[in-house]
Structure 1
Amino acid sequence: MPGKAKLANKPREKCGVVGISLEDRDAARSLYYSLYALQHRGQESAGIVTHDGFQQHEHVEMGLVGDAFDESDIEQLPGTQGIGHVRYPTAGGVNECCAQPFSVSFKSGSLGLAHNGNLVNDGEVRDQLEARGHAFTSNGDTEVIAHDLARNLLDEGLVSAVRETVQRIHGSYSLTVMHGEKVLGVRDPQGNRPLVLGKVDDGYVLASESSAIDTLGGERIRDVEPGELVILEPNGAGYESYQVADKPQTAHCFFEHVYFARPDSVLDDHLVYEVRRELGRKLWEESGIETDVVMPVPDSGRAFASGYAEAANDVGAKTEFAEGLMKNRYVGRTFIMPTQGEREQAVRLKLNPIKSTIDGRTVTLIDDSIVRGTTSSQLIELLYEAGAEEVHVRIGSPSIIAPCYMGIDMKTREELIAANRSVEDVRDEIGADSLQYISIDAITKALDSSSDDLCLGCVTGEYPYDIEGEDLDRDISRPTFGSADNTAD
């Protein structure tokens, strides 16, 4: 995908990470299966790094997991422990030099690092490392983390080195790290990005989502705590845990539950599917409208629509839940098409209306979010062409009004349809008879949380970290830091 892609019609996550330590069998195949389970989190590149007790082995390629690896690639990755990564770029280029895991060789050995998230001070740390003689091969923030950790490992033990790096880097991150025969998992002090610890018969697993652990026939143990380091011992012998950073106000990304994570994953002790159904029920409570049929935008709107229809029927509304749009799963993402006309054509190739469900009926269309609005307006047009008398749109997240700096591909306000627009303006733009978003209060209730413990930056414009160029007035205690020099040595 050469050049810079336009903002997606849906927000895109940055990455998925995994780390595995097994007793007496190579980890590469299990890592491969885990990456397949996390493919939804990144489709640009895939990679695995293993260690056989003597040296590190790696295979990193552009493309989907199934394209990046074949049987011979797996066979050439010996070792009972390793890490893996799937990537969607939000920091760094779309090329092989930014694919992960990122490997560094240094005096004390080798290091492989996989990163999900986004640093907000990587430029500052990079400048200081370059002044100390470090040479960088990419413009991504992952290499900054790898170089800083490698530098600390020259002078410190493993736990102290990780603690030094965590104090130095600021932003969102879940990391899996391969250092010698040990696999490490690190979650940022506010827990913005997810990381889960699990057990298989002959070892332990760290992964962005519990669904990857399920794929291996394992069991989720728990979420890695914000600011926690988990070290998987060699040969699946066990794990150790260290708190390497104080836990300030947490800032869990609410969009993991709304859109990014697989519905069958458990994140921060919540089954994602049930959260989405509960949000659908609350959406009915807040802005329900009785129509002939309620239908989801596949696949992301399905759980919301199910909960919405259930809540409607519980109070006697005569609303049918039905699939009114069929998805062609063999069509690529529409936002990489070179012209707007081609993107519009691709939407019609991807989603086709079922006219018997729609013709002559009033419709409520349920989706998880509206980013740019292009897809929403085209789908509403399709429904009217299929004979819908009215189309009412209900959205399972608050309106997205601001960029994300924590690892989601929403960088500018200019392409966000709801930025500086009222709900009525957006409704008019997409051509719906009515439009309502769910409230932030409903999000917090569905997650049994306080808004102070969630990252809501894209829907409030208030962020868990001070962002250069953003005017912040969030009245909770945000972490504050001096310059990187004050925490480095």
Structure 2
Amino acid sequence: MHEKCGVVGISTADRDVARPLYYSLYALQHRGQESAGIVTHDGFQQYEHVEMGLVGDAFDEGDLDSLNGSNGIGHVRYPTSGSVNNCCAQPFSVSFKSGSLGLAHNGNLINTDEIREELAALGHAFTSDGDTEVIAHDLARNLLEEDLVRAVKRTMSRIHGSYSLTITHDETVLGVRDPQGNRPLCIGELDDGYVLASESAAIDTLDGELVRDVRPGELVVLHDDGSGFDTYQLVETEQTAHCFFEHVYFARPDSVIDDELVYEVRRDLGGALWEESGIETDVVMPVPDSGRAFASGYADAAPEGVDFAEGLMKNRYVGRTFIMPTQDERERAVRLKLNPIKSTVEGKTVTVIDDSIVRGTTSSQLVELLYEAGAEEVHVRIGAPPIVAPCYMGIDMASREELIAADKSVDEIREEIKADSLSYLSIGAIADALGTSDSNLCLGCVTGEYPYDIEGEQTDREVERPAVGHSSADD
């Protein structure tokens, strides 16, 4: 799985926002590394700079100096829809009769093609194959006929799927969260203005204060002088569909999402993992970095004598771009990324904790590494249910054919990764840790039940949820 995208929008009293936007994008870099961009407006003219690559590579001092204005938006992208090129990089900008528009999008629409065809028939020309341009064109068309709030509401009635948007309409900055709240978005207060961001960590970077989450179906309009904001509840829904994987994996652990500190949620999930399937071993260790909070909570819930330890060291300079043309080199990639600490592992029984198993390749190689380092037993615990289906809401996830849990039982997965035992966390434990009902969560990737009708897939009214099991070599 890869990150989704990160969005930010800022309005201040009178200072240029290019640098605050730049710092915010750095704080959201974990959500996307393919491209980065900023759009600003000074009350007279819109400015933009969008480039491929990391935030630090996409901007230099001159780029930031050229982005004038005290209002603007920013975006970091990992593509879940559209091509990986400058055409689909964001924010997407358009100028039309009613002014200038910039739009940054985190999420994924499921009716993009339908709306694109309708707009193309009306004379709209598209320059990309992404869904963000479709939203921008639809909103621009509505702005020709409606005021800002009504135009946004009309667009929201047409687009279906997951989205958190930050938008500039001339010097006005606004934020929108989809009606089921699938994607996170929050409001923060600065000394001289307000900020909208995918995660509160971006607000912290600016020394701001988190105000609250943007509510599902809500429009937030920042005052262009930084003095405050107005809100409009444009869509009401009985149930939400928050993406539970934000708390399990995607979000920074120091972010607060839907009133929950992500780090504490992960520790609670680790504690629940012990309650459901704990096994007393000499050492409990995380797969860095995402397994760390789970392992900490798991070890704290375990009896005295089960010790938390760092048993795997991560090489932070090996990323997705590492070239692995042969199978042998692909297998060696795990050794390049993670190396066991023999003194922690040798002669010990070990529980290794991760956030998920996707294809199973990495888990299998990690178990093998730990045995090679001298572990007597290796038990695997996962802080989420098995991933059995693809995501259509904005996570770049393997296809169903590549997902190890799509056609294998827990015991079959344990045999394939050669662990002494394997357990996943239950859906109920996820809901309990988030203080909500599972009916208010998007669980499509672990149940096959989706909050929207997906062509070729079943909805939550048609599928029985699979049981989450435990497997041991002794069973």
TM-score calculated relative to the size of structure 2: 0.96
- Report the Cα offset of residue 248 of structure 1: 3.4
Q: Deviations over 1:9-64 (max 9, x none)?
A: xx113200000001111000000000000000000000000001101000000000
Equivalent position to 1:218, from 203, 208, 217: 208
**Separation in 2 of the partners of 1:469 and 1:337?**
34
Instruction: Say what the alpha-carbon RMSD is for the aligned residues.
Output: 1.2
Give matches, 1:55-66, under 5 Å.
55-66=45-56
> Does structure 1 residue 264 correspond to structure 2 residue 254?
yes
* Percent identity over paired residues: 78
Alignment equivalent of 1:142, drawn from 132, 140, 151 = 132
Q: Deviations over 1:236-261 (max 9, x none)?
A: 12101001112231000000000000
Counterpart for residue 361 of structure 1: 348
Query: In the alignment, does 2:117 pair up with 1:127?
Result: yes
Q: Which of 438, 442, 457 lines up with 2:444 in the alignment?
A: 457
Q: Is the 1:189–1:248 Cα contact (8 Å) retained in structure 2?
A: no
Aligned to 2:396: 409
Q: 2:31·2:250 contact (CA, 8 Å) conserved in 1?
A: yes
Give the Å deviation of 1:340: 3.2
Structure 1 distance, partners of 2:185, 2:460, is 29
Q: Which residue of 1 aligns with 2:176?
A: 186
- Match of 1:343, SS state, is helix
Quote how far apart the aligned CAs of 1:373 are: 1.1
Whole-Å separation in 2 of the counterparts to 1:340 and 1:296: 26
SS, match of residue 400 in structure 2: coil
Deviation at 1:105, TM superposition (A): 1.1
Q: Check the 8 A contact 1:334/1:343 in 2, yes or no.
A: no
Give the alignment of 1:26-425 within 5 angstroms. Answer: 26-313=16-303, 316=304, 318-333=305-320, 337-410=324-397, 412-425=399-412
Contact 1:19 1:183 in 2 (8 A): yes
Counterpart amino acid of residue 414 in structure 1: E
Structure 1 unaligned runs (5+)?
1-10, 477-489
Matched position secondary structure for 2:19: helix
CA distance in 2, matches of 1:68, 1:334: 17
Which range moves more in the overlay, 327-336 or 367-376? 327-336
Give how far 1:375 is off.
Answer: 1.1
Alpha carbons of structure 1 residues 359 and 400: separation in structure 2 relative to 1, 3 Å:
same
Contact 1:334/1:346 (CA < 8 Å) preserved in 2? no
Q: Which runs of 5+ in 2 are unaligned?
A: 464-475
For residue 236 of structure 1, give the secondary structure of its aligned residue in structure 2: coil
Asked if 1 retains the 8 angstrom alpha-carbon contact of 2:358 and 2:398, the reply is: no
Distance 2:414 2:3 in 1: 26
Q: Which amino acid aligns with 1:428?
A: E
1:426 aligns with 413
| 1:205 to 1:255, Cα distance in 2 relative to 1, 3 A | same
Q: Residue 468 of structure 1 corresponds to which residue in structure 2?
A: 455
CA contact (8 A) 1:335 1:343 kept: no
Aligned length: 463
User: Take 1:16 and 1:156, find their aligned partners in 2: how far apart are those partners?
Assistant: 28
* 2:144 match: secondary structure: helix
2:112 alignment partner AA? D
Deviation at 1:475, TM superposition (A): 6.7
In 1, distance between residues paired with 2:264 and 2:25?
24
1:444 aligns with 2:434: no
Amino acid at match of 1:457: G
Q: CA deviation at 1:335?
A: 8.0
